[in-house]
Structure 1
């Protein structure tokens, strides 16, 4: 049996701290804090429910982060 792949860990970071930030500032800050994947989405964007360690998602409206969550 093959070993489990090395998956990135989520940084010790609270997604709520990104709420209200400008999209670009939030993305840069997230990458600097160790998130391997940062994804900005418009409200209502259809996405899969697949959880990906190391990914931070932003819902962005009018250029500002409205909501942030892991995975």
Structure 2
């Protein structure tokens, strides 16, 4: 198993602030704040759950972010 992810390796950001934003605006904001990978998925999508340092995930419904999480 690899090293444990360190919060210091990621942007300091209020993830709740992305909820409700237009998905494109949220992605642009995340990149400006230093996230190296932005992943958008529809509700209920089957996705891999491996933790990737520097990645922010958006669950997007009707063009808006409804959920956000790290890794």
TM > 0.5: yes
In structure 2, stretches of 5+ residues that fail to align are none
Query: Please, what TM-score do these two structures have when normalized by structure 1?
Result: 0.87
> Normalized per residue, which structure has more helix?
2
Runs of 4+ residues over 2 Å off in structure 1: none
Q: May I ask how many residue pairs the two structures share in their alignment? A: 66
Query: Please, what TM-score do these two structures have when normalized by structure 2?
Result: 0.87
SS in 1 for 2:9: coil
Greater radius of gyration (CA): 1
State the Cα RMSD in Å. Answer: 1.7
In structure 1, stretches of 5+ residues that fail to align are none
